[in-house]
Each structure stands twice: as structure tokens, then as C-alpha cells.
Amino acid sequence: MLKIKRAVSLVWDSAPGWTAAHVVVTTIQSTLPFALLYIIKLIVDDIALSLNLVDKTQIFSHILFLLIDAGIVMLLTHFLAVIAQICSETLSQRVTDYMQTILYKKAIEIDLEAYESPHYQDILERAKWEAPHRPKRMLDNLTSGGQGAVTLIAVLGLLISLHWGLVCVLIFAAMPTMVVRLRQSKVMYNWHRHQTEVERKANYLGHLLLGSQPAKEIRLFNLGNMLIERFARIRQQLFREKLAILHRQAIFQLIAQGCTGMVMLATYGFIVHQTIYGRFQLGDLVLYSQAFQRAQGAVQSLLASLSGLHENNLFLADVFEFLSLQPTTLAPAHPKLVPRPLQQGIVFRDVSFQYQNSTRKAIDGINLTIAPGEIVALVGENGSGKTTLAKLLCRLYEATAGTITLDGIELQHFSRTDFYSQVGALFQDFTCYQFTVADNIWMGNVEQPFTYERIERAARQSGAAATIQRLPQGYETLLGKWFKGGEELSGGQWQKIALARAFLRDAQLVVLDEPTSAMDAHAEEEVFMRFRELMRDRSALLITHRLATIKMADRIYVMHRGEIVESGTHDRLMALGGTYAHLFETQAKNYQ
């Protein structure tokens, strides 16, 4: 009952006016068939009466009046059907849009680490399937059930006057179908829940086949047919399983409907018998037979609505399961303000982190300091934990053990919004927004007013200004090829745009993860020639494999298998002759 109430509340919140209109129209619709049925009964009675009259003028006038009444009821029925369709379709669209917005809001609340969990992906996938239409379906079940109840109450008196046992017959006849539907709902729900990951695999293959990013490799390596075959195998497996369920359900439905049909035929035979032996008039025959038919439909509609409520209640559990998720890092009750400017800097003390579903620590026992205005560099082989450490610093993850402090205050004591406002970042997997150039850069700080002065300054700082000037509409050029008129950039050009995004945020801490990996040597040199000036009064964490570019760093930390194995300036580390010196000399040989 609680889920039903919550679902109706979601529908009401999405569009109160359209919801009220939908309920009112469907309620009125439920009374019109009975009114028409009674008018037809009166017409048939008058026709039967006229057979024994010589002067049929008066009776014809009365029949004509009843026909006009019937016409008005039919016109009103058709009019309300059109209005009901408009209300239903409009409400469905509003509910879909509203539920999508709720899902998006919840998704951005969840910790980044959750996206790396298959369990979370299953919950998210099921919520995406069910959220757009289940609340509206539940409202339809309620209104349809209400219509059935109103119709049933309207004809109940007639059926009782004929024989009280007819009501029992109606309910008894509908019960087999009801039981079968409830069982079907449970079986289908369990199957869908069990097959979520399989469905996601099929969707992933579809993403690979239709996506623009994998398109080059799929064609170059001739992967298309192989991926299509895998997709077809998964879909065939799902098809066979679902067909087997439907086959079993069809057998049960036939048995249930057969039982119901036999009971209905016996009842109609009883009504005909009563008419033949003179207990009913001809109009009564029409009235009672139609009333019983209407009552049968009303009972079936009511029970179908109840089984539909049961089914939608099951599937809505997936939506509410997603909406009930909470971030593992809750906002502090009394958040502290981020110091401006920094006085002591950032300190990692014995920090460790382990990903979900992983048996090893990504970083272990890290001790690291970034003083105010200091440029710190991280180097090491792939998989050594550099990017994970950067994400911990940006508070995208929370440390499994140890503390990270800013001016002696643990990061958990700051509100995320306030802390993020003081962090500018560029990661390796930065996003290429299919927006204009100006929008792409403005994404770095949407809390600030959109001004071309700030955007152009950030573009100059990142080295993107020259590229932008050559574009057809300059800063108003649409980037990417998803939409008409878009201009595609090279990897290095996109990286400059993303770097401008990081520079736009007037942050005290800048985190750059391979910020020039896609740039050519000349562009990279331009960026790092200005880097020291750009980082004035800012603390910076720089991750790069290009060791020649980090000689400017005030301090260098060398990571290996999640631990810091060396630290110091470039000259000190070279004199030490350890891991850093080996990496630097190995790269240097490639340029000799």
C-alpha cells in the first residue's frame, strides 16, 4: 500500500492538473455505459409494448425522445474518449520526463565509486527500464479499477434482483484468471531481475556497434560481424527463456478462461430460460444479459487492475530501490569553510584505498604533502595508483584508511560544493561535450556568470585560443559530430579545450592528470612554458609520463604498486640513482 501511495504521489507531483483531469474524465466515463444500457432497455420495452397498440404515435414519440437521449450519451462518450486520450498521453509524457529528472538527480548524488560496481549498474539499469512508465501504469490501474467498481456497483442491484447468486458466480468465475495473473507477474518479475546483467551485456554490445568512439576499431579490425553474432546469441537466449515462460503462462490462462467461459454460458442460459417462461419481458432480457455482461467486464477489469497493481508494485520496487540509495560519504552536519587562502596546504597521512570488489589496495600507506603555491608531481608506471590518489585528493573517492587534511581540517568536514569550488581538474578521460566552444570552457565553472572575457582568458592560458580563432564561428562553433554543423577537433585540440575548462575555475588547487598526453611536442612546450606563471598562488598536483616536463616541479613523488618509493626534487632523485633516475634515463635514450 505504501508503494502505491508513493507511486500516485509521483504522478501527482509530475502534473497535478493533468492527473486530476485524468481521474475526473475516467470516472465520468465509467457511468455512461450504464446510462446507455438503461435507455436501451426502455426503448426495447416500448417497442414490445407497441406491438399490441393500434395507435403507435405516442409510443413512437417517446421512443424518439429516448433515441435522442441515447445519441447525447453516445456523443458525450466519444467526446470524453478524445479528452481521456489527450489527458492520458499528456500525463504519460509528463510522468516520463519527471521520473527521468528524478533519476538524473539521484544519479549525481551517488558516489563515483558506485559506478564501478556491477551491483549498482544492475540497480540503475532496472530503474531506467521501469521509472518512465510504472507510476503512470499504477495510476491507470487505480482509475481502471475505480471504473470497474463504479460499473459493478451500478449493476449490482439489477443482478441481485434477478438472483443473488449471480454476484457469487461473477466473482467465482473471475478468480482463476486472477490467480494466474498474480503468478505470472511474480514469475516475470523474477526473470527480469535475474536477467538484468545479461540485458546489460546486450545493451553494451549495441553501444559498441552504434557508438562513434568504437567505430574506427570496429571497422579496422573487422569486429562488426563478431559483435553482432554475440548480440544475437544473447538476445536468442533471452528470447528462448521468455518464450518458455509465456508458453507455460498461456496454458494456465487457457485453463482459467475455459472454466470462466463455462460458468458464463450457464448463467446466460439461466437468463434465457427465465425469459422463455415469461418471468422476464424482452427488455428485461436485454437489460439483464447486458447487465451481466457489463458486470462480468467490470469484475474482470477490477481484478485485472488489482493484478496490475501487484505487478507494477513489484517492478516499482526496482525504482524505489534506486531512489533509496544513499552516498557513502554524507554531508557534515556543520560543514567548515575551505580556508582562503591556504596556509598549511594539503597533507596525506597513512592513506590507503581499496576499490569495491577488489582484493588488493590501489594505494597503501601514502604520506604526501602539497604546500600552498607548490607544484607537486607524481610519476610511476601505469597502475601504480597515481590517478586513484588524484581522485582521493579531489574527494571523488573517500580513503579506506588514513586522513587527508587541508590546513589541518579533514576533507570530510567540508561541504562538497564548497570544496569542489576550490579544485580545478583535468583527467585523462576528460569529457568532450557536444556543445559550443564557449560552453565547453564555461563547464569548468557554471556557478559563475557566463562571460566571454573569462572564457577567452582561460583559452589563452591553455593554448586553445589559436585553434578557436580558426574555427568557423569562433567561440560559438559547435564541437563534435553528433549534431548538425559541428566541427570535430583533434585529440590535442580537445585536450586544450578541457585544460581551459580547468583553468577557468579560480581554484586554489589544480589537479592535472596527463594534461598534455594528446598534444604534440610544440603545443606541450607552450603549455608548460606558461605553467609556472599560471600556477602562481595555486597548489598543483601534476601527473605525467613525460618526465622532461616535470623538472619544474618543486617536489616529485615516485609511486610503485600503490606506494611512494621515492620523493624529492629532480636533481636529488637523479643523484639518488633509483627508480626515477632509471625512468628518466630510459625516456632520454629514446630521444638520442
165 and 42 in a common domain: yes
552 and 461 in a common domain: no
232 and 113 in a common domain: yes
* C-beta separation of 507 from 340 below 8 A: no
* C-beta separation of 581 from 569 below 8 A: no
Q: Cα-Cα-Cα-Cα dihedral of 19, 22, 28, 32, to 10°?
A: -160
What DSSP string describes 96-137?
A: HHHHHHHHHHHHHHS-GGGGG-HHHHHHHHHHHHHTTTHHHH
- The domain that holds 457 is classified in CATH as 3.40.50.300
pLDDT of residue 109: 82
pLDDT of residue 268: 64
Beta-carbon-side half-sphere exposure of residue 318 (alpha carbons within 13 Å)? 26
Phi/psi of residue 327, each to 5°? -60, 145
pLDDT of residue 277: 63
pLDDT of residue 157: 60
157 and 75 in a common domain: yes
Task: Tell me the sheet residues that pair with 336.
Answer: 414
DSSP 412: G
Last residue of a domain, one of 456, 472, 506: 506
**Residue at 243 is within a domain:** yes
Q: What's the whole-model pTM score?
A: 0.74
**Residue at 66 is within a domain:** yes
The residue assigned the cell 579490425 is 221
- Which three cell numbers mark 8? 500516485
Domain count, the chain: 3
375 and 418 in a common domain: yes
- Which three cell numbers mark 239? 528470447
**Residue at 332 is within a domain:** no
- What residues make up the domain containing 150? 2-323
364: helix, coil or strand?
strand
* C-beta separation of 142 from 11 below 8 A: no
414 and 299 in a common domain: no
pLDDT of residue 293: 64
**Residue at 407 is within a domain:** yes
Phi/psi zone of residue 402: left (φ > 0), alpha (ψ -120 to 50 degrees), beta?
left
Phi/psi of residue 335, each to 5°? -65, 145
Last residue of a domain, one of 506, 521, 545: 506
- What is the Cα–Cα distance from 366 to 346, expressed in whole angstroms? 13
Non-local CB neighbours of 363 within 8 Å, separated by 6+ positions: 351, 352, 353, 385, 388, 389, 392, 559, 562, 563
199 and 86 in a common domain: yes
pLDDT of residue 478: 92
pLDDT of residue 378: 92
- What is the Cα–Cα distance from 236 to 245, expressed in whole angstroms? 14
**Residue at 586 is within a domain:** yes
Question: What are 388-445's pLDDT values in tens digits?
Answer: 999 999 888 888 899 999 999 999 899 888 888 888 888 888 888 999 999 999 988 8
555: helix, coil or strand?
strand
Q: What residues of the chain score a pLDDT lower than 50?
A: none
66 and 184 in a common domain: yes
Last residue of a domain, one of 323, 358, 379: 323
547 and 456 in a common domain: no
280 and 231 in a common domain: yes
**Residue at 150 is within a domain:** yes
**Residue at 331 is within a domain:** no
CA 592 vs CA 575, 587, 588: distances in Å:
21, 9, 7
448 and 402 in a common domain: no
362 and 316 in a common domain: no
- What is the Cα–Cα distance from 357 to 119, expressed in whole angstroms? 10
